[in-house]
Structure 1
Amino acid sequence: MVLEEPHPPPYGNALGVAAVTQSKAAASARPTVVRKKFAKPPVKVACLACRASRTRCDGQDPCTNCLGKKKHCSYLPSKRGGPRKKKRPSIPADAVAQPADVQNATAPPASSGFDESSGIFGQIDVLSIPGAGLRSLDFPSDVHAMFADLFVPNADNSAHVQMEPTPSPSNIPSRSLVRTYGSDDAILNAYYDFIHHYFPILPPRVDPPAPDQPLDCIGSFTESPSEEPILAYRPQSPLCLAISAILALIPHPNDLEPSAPASVIRRRTYAHKFAQLANTGIESDCELHASSTDPAEALSSERPLLDREPFHSQAPVELESVLALLVLSIYEYTQRGNLLKMRYRAGQALAIALDMSLHALGDEYDEFAEARRRAWWMTYYCVLQGSIVSTTPLAIIANDPQFVTPYPRFAADPDGWSVLIQAQQVLVSATQFVIDLNKCISTRTNMPYIYERMQQLDAWASSALARSNLLPIVPQSVACGAGIEFTTAQCIRAISRIKLSSAQIKVHRFRAFSDIPIFIKKHCDLTAASAANPVSNDPSKTSRSQDGINNIGCSCSLEPFQPSSSEYTPSASSTSSDFHTMSQFSFTSGFPYSSQHSAKMCLRASLLISRMFHSLPLPQPLLDNSQTQQGMHMLPNHLPRTMPSFACCLMQGSYAMLMIFYKARVEKQMPPDYGTNNPPTPQDRLIEEIRQGLERIIATVTNYAIAFEALDGMRGES
Structure 2
Amino acid sequence: MADFDGLVRPTRKKFAKPPVKVACLPCRASRTRCGGQMPCSNCVNKDRECSYLPSKRGGPRKKKEKSSTSPERHQSQDVPYPAMPSPGFEECMCVDCCQTENQQINIVTPSNGILAGMFSQIDDLSLPGAGLRHLDFQAEVPSIFQGLFNSDGTQSHMQVPPISPSLMGTESYVRTYGSEPEILNAYYDFIHNYFPILPPRASPPCRDRPLNCPVPGSSSSEPTMIYRPRSPLSLALSAILALIPHPSDLDPDSGASILQRRAYAHSFAQLANSTIEAECDLDLSSTDPGQALSAGRPLVGRQRFHPQCPVDYESLLALLVLSTYEYAQRGNLLKMRYRAGQALAIALDKSLHAQTGNDEFSEARRRAWWMTYYCVVQGSIVSTTMPAIVINDPQFTTPYPSFSSDAEGWSILIQSQQVLVSATQFIGDLNKCLASQSGMYHMFERMQQLDAWTNSVIAQVELLPLVPQTSDFGDHNESITAQSIRAISRIKLCSAQIKTHRYRAFSDIPLFIKKHCDLTSANPSTPNTLPKQGIHNVSCPCSSLDTFQRAASTEYMTPSDSSTSSDIHPDPSSYVPQYPQYPFASGFPYSTQQSGKICLQASLLISRIFHSLPTPQPLSDARHQRPLPRTMPSFACCLIQSSYAMFMIYYKARVAKQLSPVQNEKGDDSTGQLIEELRQGLGRIIAAVSNYSIAFEALDGMRDEIEGAYKTAFSMSV
TM-score normalised by length of structure 1: 0.67
Aligned to 1:365: 358
**Among 195, 198, 206, the residue aligned to 2:194:** 198
Aligned to 1:662: 651
Aligned to 2:671: 683
Amino acid at match of 1:693: G
CA contact (8 A) 2:402 2:409 kept: yes
Amino acid at match of 1:204: P
CA contact (8 A) 2:530 2:579 kept: no
Q: Deviations over 1:434-460 (max 9, x none)?
A: 010011111111111100000000000
Look at both structures and tell me which one has the larger radius of gyration over its CA atoms.
Answer: 1
SS at match of 1:244: helix
Cα deviation for residue 668 of structure 1 reads 1.5
Cα deviation for residue 656 of structure 1 reads 1.0
CA contact (8 A) 1:325 1:348 kept: yes
**Among 622, 631, 640, the residue aligned to 1:642:** 631
Aligned to 1:592: 589
**Among 595, 610, 633, the residue aligned to 2:625:** 633
Amino acid at match of 2:369: W
Amino acid at match of 2:695: A
Cα deviation for residue 715 of structure 1 reads 0.8
1:325 aligns with 2:323: no
Q: Which residues of 2 match residues 594-609 of structure 1 at below 5 A?
A: 594-609=591-606
Aligned to 2:423: 430
Amino acid at match of 1:633: Q
Q: Which residues of 2 match residues 56-455 of structure 1 at below 5 A?
A: 114-117=75-78, 125-126=139-140, 136=162, 166-167=166-167, 169=169, 172=170, 174=171, 176-221=172-217, 223-224=218-219, 227-362=221-356, 364-455=357-448
The whole-number CA distance in structure 2 between the counterparts of 1:515 and 1:684 is 21
Aligned to 1:68: none
The whole-number CA distance in structure 1 between the counterparts of 2:636 and 2:243 is 17
Cα deviation for residue 666 of structure 1 reads 1.8
Cα deviation for residue 479 of structure 1 reads 10
Amino acid at match of 2:656: E
Q: Which residues of 2 match residues 527-606 of structure 1 at below 5 A?
A: 572=540, 574=542, 586-606=583-603
Cα deviation for residue 506 of structure 1 reads 0.5
Distance of aligned partners of 1:564 and 1:445 in 2 relative to their CA distance in 1, 3 Å threshold:
farther
Distance of aligned partners of 1:116 and 1:529 in 2 relative to their CA distance in 1, 3 Å threshold:
farther
Distance of aligned partners of 1:456 and 1:390 in 2 relative to their CA distance in 1, 3 Å threshold:
same
Cα deviation for residue 135 of structure 1 reads 5.8
1:462 aligns with 2:460: no
The whole-number CA distance in structure 1 between the counterparts of 2:264 and 2:498 is 38
**Among 613, 617, 623, the residue aligned to 1:616:** 613
CA contact (8 A) 1:414 1:474 kept: no
Distance of aligned partners of 1:479 and 1:217 in 2 relative to their CA distance in 1, 3 Å threshold:
closer
CA contact (8 A) 1:512 1:599 kept: yes
Structure 2, unaligned runs of 5 or more: 1-71, 81-131, 142-158, 519-528, 549-577, 707-718
Aligned to 2:122: none
The whole-number CA distance in structure 1 between the counterparts of 2:232 and 2:79 is 36
The whole-number CA distance in structure 2 between the counterparts of 1:710 and 1:459 is 35
SS at match of 1:489: helix
CA contact (8 A) 1:582 1:588 kept: no
Aligned to 1:95: none
The whole-number CA distance in structure 1 between the counterparts of 2:378 and 2:298 is 32
Q: Deviations over 1:550-579 (max 9, x none)?
A: xxxxxxxxxxx96699xxxx995655999x
The whole-number CA distance in structure 1 between the counterparts of 2:309 and 2:464 is 30
The whole-number CA distance in structure 2 between the counterparts of 1:112 and 1:601 is 38
The whole-number CA distance in structure 2 between the counterparts of 1:217 and 1:591 is 62
Q: Deviations over 1:88-115 (max 9, x none)?
A: xxxxxxxxxxxxxxxxxxxxxxx99932
CA contact (8 A) 1:381 1:424 kept: yes
Aligned to 2:464: 471
The whole-number CA distance in structure 2 between the counterparts of 1:479 and 1:639 is 25
Cα deviation for residue 690 of structure 1 reads 1.5
Aligned to 1:486: 479
The whole-number CA distance in structure 1 between the counterparts of 2:222 and 2:545 is 49
The whole-number CA distance in structure 1 between the counterparts of 2:221 and 2:196 is 33
Q: Deviations over 1:619-672 (max 9, x none)?
A: 111112xx5x6xx431xxx11100000000111111111111221122112999
Distance of aligned partners of 1:368 and 1:589 in 2 relative to their CA distance in 1, 3 Å threshold:
same
Distance of aligned partners of 1:346 and 1:122 in 2 relative to their CA distance in 1, 3 Å threshold:
closer
1:709 aligns with 2:697: yes
Cα deviation for residue 584 of structure 1 reads 8.7
The whole-number CA distance in structure 2 between the counterparts of 1:326 and 1:480 is 26
The whole-number CA distance in structure 1 between the counterparts of 2:391 and 2:513 is 26
The whole-number CA distance in structure 1 between the counterparts of 2:660 and 2:449 is 43
The whole-number CA distance in structure 1 between the counterparts of 2:229 and 2:532 is 63
Distance of aligned partners of 1:585 and 1:271 in 2 relative to their CA distance in 1, 3 Å threshold:
same
The whole-number CA distance in structure 1 between the counterparts of 2:371 and 2:197 is 7
SS at match of 1:485: helix
CA contact (8 A) 2:201 2:474 kept: no
Distance of aligned partners of 1:208 and 1:577 in 2 relative to their CA distance in 1, 3 Å threshold:
farther
Aligned to 1:48: none
The whole-number CA distance in structure 2 between the counterparts of 1:165 and 1:348 is 33
TM-score normalised by length of structure 2: 0.67
SS at match of 1:300: coil
CA contact (8 A) 1:193 1:621 kept: yes
Q: Deviations over 1:205-252 (max 9, x none)?
A: 11111111111225424x44x753001111110000000000011111
Amino acid at match of 2:329: Q
The whole-number CA distance in structure 1 between the counterparts of 2:213 and 2:510 is 48
Amino acid at match of 1:393: M
Cα deviation for residue 501 of structure 1 reads 0.4
Fraction of identical pairs, as percent = 62
Amino acid at match of 2:194: Y
Distance of aligned partners of 1:645 and 1:577 in 2 relative to their CA distance in 1, 3 Å threshold:
farther
Cα deviation for residue 615 of structure 1 reads 0.8
1:653 aligns with 2:649: no
CA contact (8 A) 2:199 2:363 kept: yes
CA contact (8 A) 1:218 1:230 kept: no
Distance of aligned partners of 1:422 and 1:240 in 2 relative to their CA distance in 1, 3 Å threshold:
same
180-189 vs 679-688, greater mean Cα deviation: 679-688
Distance of aligned partners of 1:211 and 1:126 in 2 relative to their CA distance in 1, 3 Å threshold:
same
The whole-number CA distance in structure 2 between the counterparts of 1:467 and 1:388 is 22
Aligned to 1:698: 686
The whole-number CA distance in structure 2 between the counterparts of 1:305 and 1:668 is 69
The whole-number CA distance in structure 1 between the counterparts of 2:631 and 2:514 is 27
Cα deviation for residue 682 of structure 1 reads 3.0
CA contact (8 A) 2:599 2:645 kept: yes
Structure 1, unaligned runs of 5 or more: 1-110, 128-132, 138-163, 519-525, 533-560
